[in-house]
Amino acid sequence: MSKVYHNSFFSMGTRLNVVFSNADDELCGRLFRMIENEVHRIELKLSYFLPESFISKINNEAFESAVELDSEMWKILNQCLDYNKLTLGAFDITMRRLVDFFKHNPEETETDLTSCMQCIQLDDEEKSIRFTDEHTKIDLGGFGKGYALEKVLRLVNDSPIESAFISFGESSILAKGKHPSGKAWQVGLNSYINSGESVYSFELENESVSTSSNYFLDDTGQLQFKINVINPINGSIKKEIETVSVKSKSPLEAEILSTAMLILNDEQISAVKINEVEIVKISYHNGEASITKF
């Protein structure tokens, strides 16, 4: 009997790490391989960058003619439309042309380009998708890791393993059961000001937490703002140093909401009605961290 099993693999541009405690090595190995296969399957289907993905097929063909969807993709796209409405338009899967604009125009902080969500047409009878604008592209970057972890959670729940900790790129965390010590799993949020120190900590037990930020530190340690954190309503890049973390029973919901809430202001976040969700925003001003809980 192995006390702790650890393994990892690379997918979706980052690394997924799994930790199983108090379980047989052979059982853990089988489950790990199932998880790896499932996450790779999802990446092959949802990736914006892989030319053979289903999303690439949609992006290449949906303006010229309707693209028939399988049941999984139909459900995914409807979920995305529902969360777009729920988050007041902040969760937007059509931001790729804005991302590309700022990538090629790094000196700009805003653009007249806006969302293309209204250009997505789903046919309920034919279970198909059409674009009404040739510039519309779908990018599920703020959805894919959470969706993958949702599938991973089902695999873990269907196994005898009672305690698991799964980190996808360190920003998306899934915890089942308790820590081997008998307490809840602890997840700390790293301080931008004092690297290595936690500015806030979550306790997770059969829960997930996802964190999104609008900045990163480059190889020289200099602050850089992310070009993919764009307000879909006014086409502007957010320049305040902020992170938003969302704790939820659902890893997919945590992923979607952390992406969306980073765009919204405090009043808008408070207006979004989600049950059993904890939202924590950390803003950095003048060398100090300000924590707001919703």
Q: CATH number for the domain including 80?
A: 1.10.3980.10
Structure tokens that stand for 206 in this block? 């059969």
Determine the pLDDT at residue 208: 98
Residue 64 lies in a domain: yes
Determine the pLDDT at residue 239: 84
Task: Provide the percentage of residues in the chain whose pLDDT is more than 90.
Answer: 86
Determine the pLDDT at residue 233: 84
Residue 116 lies in a domain: yes
Q: What is the C-alpha separation between 40 and 35, in angstroms, rounded?
A: 9
Amino acid at 225: F
Residue 111 lies in a domain: yes
Q: Give the chain's domain count.
A: 1
Residue 120 lies in a domain: yes
What range does the domain containing 109 cover? 54-131
Q: What is the C-alpha separation between 238 and 242, in angstroms, rounded?
A: 9
Residue 30 lies in a domain: no
Per-residue pLDDT of the chain in tens (294 residues, 90 and over written 9)? 448 999 999 999 999 999 999 889 999 999 999 999 999 999 999 999 999 999 999 999 999 999 999 999 999 999 999 999 999 999 999 999 999 999 999 889 899 998 999 999 999 999 999 999 999 999 999 999 999 999 999 999 999 999 999 999 999 999 999 999 999 999 999 998 888 899 999 999 999 999 999 998 888 888 888 988 999 988 999 888 999 999 999 999 999 999 999 999 999 999 998 889 999 999 999 889 999 999
User: Helices then strands (H, E): number in the chain?
Assistant: 7, 15
Q: How many C-beta neighbours within 10 Å does residue 246 have?
A: 29
Residue 260 lies in a domain: no
Q: What is the C-alpha separation between 193 and 19, in angstroms, rounded?
A: 29
Residue 59 lies in a domain: yes
Output the 3-class SS for 123-154.
Answer: ECCCCEEEECCCCCCCCCCCCHHHHHHHHHHH
Determine the pLDDT at residue 258: 97
Residues 109-156: tens digit of each pLDDT: 899 998 999 999 999 999 999 999 999 999 999 999 999 999 999 999
Determine the pLDDT at residue 218: 86
Beta strand ranges found along the chain (DSSP E): 2-11, 14-23, 67-68, 120-123, 128-131, 164-168, 172-176, 185-190, 198-204, 207-213, 215-217, 223-225, 241-248, 278-285, 288-293
270 sits in which H/E element: helix 266-271
The dihedral of CA 117, 135, 232, 13: what is its sign? positive
Determine the pLDDT at residue 1: 45
